[in-house]
A = this chain, B = another copy of it.
Amino acid sequence: MTLKNIPTKASQEYRNFPMVPRVVYGKGSFNTLGDILMSKRKHSEAPMIYLVDDVFENTDLLNRIPKIFCDQIILISAEDEPKTQQVDALVSMLKENYNELPSGIIGIGGGTLLDLAKAVAIMLTNKGGAAEYQGWDLVKKQPIYHVGIPTISGTGAEVSRTTVLMGPEKKLGINSDYTTFDQVLLDPDLTVGVPKEQWFYTGMDCFIHCVESLNGTFLNAFSKSYGEKSLELCKEVFLEDIDESESREKLMMASWHGGMSIAYSQVGVAHAMSYGLGYVLGVKHGIGNCLVFQFLEEFYPEGVVLFNNMLKKHKIVLPKGVCSNLTESEMDTMITVALGMEPLWENALGENWKSIITAQKLKAIYQKI
């Protein structure tokens, strides 16, 4: 597999970063969704399509979705990482079911649902299959209006210019200026009821990517200021004793600032290796990062100490022996996928990263997991 346009520190130095042009924040702000969407409806035959995490089946949230005309709610499981085939299937279905392109795609859920919403919006106006766009700046046409509404905090997907998909050949994002949501709605009350472990692992996605970005070589003052604020909020949420409602608000903002910090930085070793785990074993992104990060004291000494304190405080026990039954060939694939994340390694270890990190070193770390 050959990849084009791989970003380097130099190529992203003066990036003209696309920010989410509209954001609503506030407990209860979900109730404003109907008004927000109204002005974006092309006409009654062009529906709003809501992609919603199926944990909300039979909950009141579905009744609160402003579904009118021929709008459709599609419930989707977030058990597995989002896939390019899944995106293609959703796009085909929408094209078959409607004579008109939708007025908008609204993702309601965690990183999986947000990434699916971004990818479906892109693939409704761009030819071919989603896998053809995995990479950097390959999208050519303006996507459908798309809205992100996180119901769990930490991935930063609500503010990033990527949608990470599992493809037939690789796990890689569709990274483009077109990927960013047109509208984000941040309602901390939507995160009430997230199971504790999922809360922890997804929050650690944010914590870990702040550590990686702040310790990376790509960092500039813009991204540093966002990363520092996000890290500070993560520490308050996971190491201090604060009120639950306040904690939900702070984690939602940590995720937001953490995502913004990626504008002129990159994630690093944990994310690169977690991509390998995800690709070969289907390990979800949040827990994958944690499984790797615990063994990265060589690269992130202070971060790993904080992480261990967080595990302890919340009595989280990470699974063991995850990689113990891998075949030689599976281990090789895992290493190849991880090493394929070139920008992440360049960010973590500098231009000469290939002289620092070797397949053998990665294997030794994977074997501990």
Contacts and interface: CB of A to CB of B under 8 A. Distances in A.
A253 to B, nearest CB: 4
A23 B16 contact: yes
Nearest to A26: B14
A28 B186 CA distance: 34
A237 to B, nearest CB: 12
Interface string A11-40: 001111111111111101101100010000
B16 A22 contact: yes
Interface in A235-252: 246, 249-250, 252
Contact of A229 (B229, B250, B252): B229
Contacts of A342: none
Contacts of A225: 229, 233, 250, 253, 257
A19 B23 contact: yes
Chain A residues touching B, range: 35 or more
A246 B219 CA distance: 13
A316 to B, nearest CB: 25
A219 to B, nearest CB: 12
A228 interface: yes
A156 interface: no
Contacts of A26: 13-14, 220, 222, 264
A178 B31 CA distance: 24
Interface string A206-238: 000000000000001110010011000100000
Contacts of A36: 16
A107 interface: no
Contacts of A29: 14
A222 B253 contact: yes
A135 B24 CA distance: 22
A188 interface: yes
Contacts of A257: 225, 229
A221 B228 CA distance: 16
A25 B222 contact: yes
Contacts of A256: 222
Contacts of A228: 229
Nearest to A31: B14
Given A14-B31, A21-B21, A229-B229, 11 more contacts: A14-B28, A16-B24, A17-B24, A25-B221, A25-B264, A188-B221, A221-B252, A222-B253, A222-B256, A225-B229, A225-B233
Interface of A: 13-26, 28-29, 31-32, 36, 183, 186, 188, 220-222, 225, 228-229, 233, 246, 249-250, 252-253, 256-257, 263-264
26 contacts: A14-B24, A15-B24, A16-B22, A16-B24, A16-B32, A16-B36, A16-B183, A17-B23, A17-B25, A18-B21, A19-B20, A19-B21, A19-B22, A19-B23, A23-B263, A25-B220, A26-B264, A220-B249, A221-B246, A221-B249, A222-B253, A222-B256, A225-B233, A225-B253, A228-B229, A229-B257
